[in-house]
Structure formats: C-alpha cells, structure tokens
Amino acid sequence: MLMQARLETVDCPCCESDGHRHWASENGYAAVKCTGCGTVYIRERPRAEDISAAARDGVHPTEDGTLDQRLRRQGWKVPFYAGIVRRFFDGEKDLSWLDVGAGNGEFVEAVQRALPDAKASGIDPMEVKVARAQQRGVPITTQTLEEVTGSYDVISIINVFSHVPDFQHFGGLIRARLKPGGSLFIETGNGGDLPSRADYPGELLLPDHLTFSGIEQMKQTLGRLGFGRIEHFSRRTDHPLWAVKQIVKSILKGKPKLVLPWTRKFRTVFYRAYLDG
C-alpha cells in the first residue's frame, strides 16, 4: 500500500542553522549534514502530528509502503544494560528512575538488576509492547511524558533521541520531572560524528530516525537545556560477531560482501547529564 506522507521542513535541531549538504538517502527520505555543527538530520520530514501517531502505532509511512518497528523483546539487553548502569551509577542508593520509551522493558529490568534498591519504572507509547511487558511484571505504562506527575533522580532515554521531533521541547519536559541534581541518561549513536554514510552500520531507519547527533553536538544540545556537567562513554559495536552477522545478511540478500571487525567509526554513546542542584 502506497501512503502519501505530508512533509514539513526544519533547520538543524542542534544549532538552528539552515546550511546543509546531502549525506544519505533511504526509504524516499534524505538525511543532510549541518554545515554549521555537523548534526545529521532529515530536513524534509513527516509532520510532527504524523510522527507522534507513528510512534504510537510503531508504523511509519514511507514511499515503499510501511516500515515496521514493532520489535520483540531482546533478552540479551538486560545483562548488557545492567553492566552499563553499574558503570555510571554503582553504589548510588534508592534512586527513583523513569525510563522513557521503555519499549519491551529490557532497560527497566536492567536497572532493577544493577540497582536492586532503585525504584524503576517506564513509559512507552506503543500499546502492544507495554501490554507484553506488563504480562512479565515489568512496571511500564502508556502514560505520555506530559502525563507523568512524579519527580525522579534519573530519567533515561535509550535509543530514543533520534526519534524525537523537537528535543528542546522534549528535554524541557524531562528537566521539569527531575529532582534538583538529578540526571538525564541517554544512549544514542554518534551519527553526527561520521564523515560519511558508509561509516554507519546497517540501515539509518529513515524517517523513524530524524536526528543523528555527535558528541560535541549532544553536549551543546544538553547545555542549552540547562544541564551543566556531562559524562559520556563511547562503545564500539563493530565486534567480530557483528561482522559475521553482516556477512551472513549480505549473503542472504544475494549481495555477498566482506565486513571487517574493528574498522568502523560508529559508536553507541552513553551520556549522563547532571541537572544543577
């Protein structure tokens, strides 16, 4: 089914410049690189109201039909993220923690595992995922961030940043729900630091992903939101098992190609941004 997506034009979500050059095309959308700050983003993109409907349903209109993002729970993420949480928060007691865009709940489970005395919960717009997480006893609801009334020591957004149409607005909602001295915890790729599309592993998932930040761009974005101190940790994703999977995928697609481990500039980056107490 061909769906006609209505578009709007936006300037750089980080520095608000309109200077840009073409970076990549996918699914009928173009990602551009800001010539001011380096952020990669979709300039001609689905309109905000269509984006929020898509986030709720997990389906995005594209030229080729639809791009389905209703992914299933991935159990390996629980021990993986538990390790990441310990790296940043080990020894911190009784944290109240809200995970925004909690999906199937793996990250909430990871916080529970890493910090047994933390009070961790999550919200996600996708009803199918929330229902499944609740069946497993993971405390996730379909509340929106606007509807959240509590105040938290930590609010996390794990691979959510790229999906957010207006991060200054969204970040403001988060800031208002953090206690003084609280932290925003983010995972997102370093797409804005990559010289070319070829450095990005796999699909860009346009237009589901709207913005690809680099490390300095993220610090600038968080600084504008009033976060003072920012710690970050970059992690490679091009390990040998990943390379083998890419080779197998390319063979299955009928376009075999050699993929080498430890050669890509792509990183997944974790940020802990502290709200001034």
The β-bridge relationship of strands 211-212 and 140-141 is unpaired
- The answer to whether 122 and 130 have CB atoms below 8 angstroms apart is no
What dihedral do alpha carbons 236, 204, 15, 97 form, nearest 10°? Answer: -60
Q: Which is nearer to Zn ion, 34 or 243 (CB)?
A: 34
Q: How far is the CB of 80 from Zn ion (least distance, A)?
A: 31
Least distance in Å: CB of 39 to Zn ion?
A: 5
**36 versus 201: smaller Cβ distance to Zn ion:** 36
Minimum CB distance to Zn ion smaller for 108 or for 164: 164
Our CB check for Zn ion shows the closer of 34 and 157 to be: 34
Which residues contact Zn ion by CB under 5 A? 12, 14-15, 17, 34, 36-37, 39
Integer Cα distance of 97 and 208 in angstroms: 26
The CB-of-35 to Zn ion minimum distance in angstroms stands at: 8
The minimum distance between CB 14 and Zn ion, in angstroms, equals: 5
Q: Both ends of the chain: CA-CA distance in Å?
A: 52
Q: Which residues contact 133 (CB under 8 A, 6 or more apart)?
A: 73, 102, 103, 104, 105, 108, 122, 124, 140
Structure tokens belonging to residue 16: 């608000």
Q: Which of 120, 210 has the CB closer to Zn ion?
A: 210
Minimum distance from residue 19 beta carbon to Zn ion (Å) = 8
163, 153, 182: which is closest to 67 by C-alpha? 163
